[in-house]
A = this chain, B = another copy of it.
Amino acid sequence: MKVLSEPARVRGFRFAGVSAGLKTVAGAKDLGLIAAQNPIAAAGLFTTNRVKAAPVVVASERVGRGKLQAVVVNSGSANCFTGKPGLRLALDSCAAVAAELGCDGTHVAPCSTGVIGHLYDFEKYRDGVRRAVGALNEDGLEEFARAIMTTDTRPKAASVRLRLGGREITVAGAAKGSGMLSPRVATMLAFIVTDVAVTPAQLRTALKEASASSFNAITVDGDMSTNDTVLAMASGAAENRALDGRERAIFVEAMGAVASSLARQLVYDGEGATKLVAIRVRGARSRADAERIARRIGNSPLVKTAFFGCDPNVGRIIAAAGASGVALDPARLELRVGGVKIASRGMLLVGALEAAQQRMREREFAVDLNLKLGSGEAALLTSDLSLDYVKINAEYTT
């Protein structure tokens, strides 16, 4: 399945990205809009943080009913930790979109990303909505992707075209994120749209499966946003016949391919990231064990600084694995970095370190840890912890 790292037209959707003056940088795009012709199948995944931003509260309740006509996203303010005024603001924002589009306000989902604790200016927002509705067009997905950026250095989009249910269908998406959270970044947001005709339940299943190995298998700093949202919408404009089992599997695969491309772009553009590292853990007693180890390695500041320093640091990697709480036998471990075996049977292979170090100089490499205890496997994409990560996150003042 060929995935392009670029936007595409998706029948049944129009997009816009405009500047509403919500970001401090004058003229920066900060209001994005996705609109369908009618209420259509929608599904969503939301942050499990106990502190949820107002738009997350509103969007999750609306998406739960399975239908949406529009999604409105602002950057510059997360509208989180803003109490009842924040909730009111999120509702008013949707109402403003509904008034301009002439649709039911409960079919509009809001998303916000930016500084936590501050409300945005509703007058500016409403003016922005007016301009966004005026700017809606079928080729606007890239403009939308730009409008939702915060510390991101580039817009993130992906698309797949394939034949399904007797028709050519398209799945396309856009995302933002950089750290997984910060008052400047404050979120991973992703939006996937398709013209395929599926029920809300089918869309929900597809989104969940697609996210497991993409959005839920990446980390930049291990921190969890108050605003994380992944939304999917299916317009049905492809007018395909009802999908059979095999076709549904292909649809899930297409959603997964777009989600994986977006997830990869998120880590690649992680705050200060100079490396994209695939952590793969095999031979664990269970998938859950493998995942715990992969996350512990992928979030360890010491492992991540070693990545930044191109240091094939066996000690830090196995110590992180051992700290995960998962049963393992150091005497069996096998570790490869950049394809080079640097530890085997509980011992460091000193002679191999130089070759591994060479591989780590590349932008992308893999860390493969085999526990040799069972058949549990897991994978995680992570970035390094660089001087720029600290600069980006220390030099900003609330």
Query: Residues of A at under 8 Å CB distance from B?
Result: 49-52, 78, 80-83, 115-118, 179, 181-183, 186, 221-226, 300-302, 305-306, 308-309, 311-316, 318-328, 330-331, 343, 345-348, 350, 353, 357, 385-387, 389-391, 393-398
Contacts and interface: CB of A to CB of B under 8 A. Distances in A.
A393 B305 contact: yes
B389 A51 contact: no
A318 B51 contact: yes
Given A51-B328, A322-B50, A117 B314 contact: yes
Contacts of A353: 398
Contacts of A52: 322, 330
Contact of A49 (B181, B323, B357): B323
Contacts of A387: 387, 390-391, 394
B347 A81 contact: yes
A186 B315 contact: yes
Contacts of A348: 81-82, 116-118
B83 A346 contact: yes
B343 A81 contact: yes
A305 to B, nearest CB: 4
Contacts of A319: 49, 51, 80, 116, 181, 223-226
A198 B357 CA distance: 52
A311 B397 contact: yes
Contacts of A346: 81, 83
A301 B319 CA distance: 19
12 contacts: A51-B318, A82-B347, A83-B346, A116-B348, A117-B315, A181-B316, A305-B389, A311-B397, A311-B398, A312-B398, A387-B390, A387-B394
A348 B389 CA distance: 25
Nearest to A118: B348
Nearest to A391: B387
Contacts of A323: 49-50, 223-224
A331 B49 contact: no
Nearest to A51: B322
Contacts of A116: 314-316, 318-319, 348
A128 to B, nearest CB: 23
Given A81-B343, A181-B319, A390 B305 contact: yes
A183 B83 CA distance: 46
A183 B82 contact: no
Nearest to A329: B50
A331 B84 CA distance: 9
Contacts of A301: 221-223, 301, 385, 389, 393
A331 B57 CA distance: 14
B347 A306 contact: no
B322 A182 contact: no
B302 A181 contact: yes
Nearest to A318: B51
A172 to B, nearest CB: 30
Contacts of A327: 50
A193 to B, nearest CB: 28
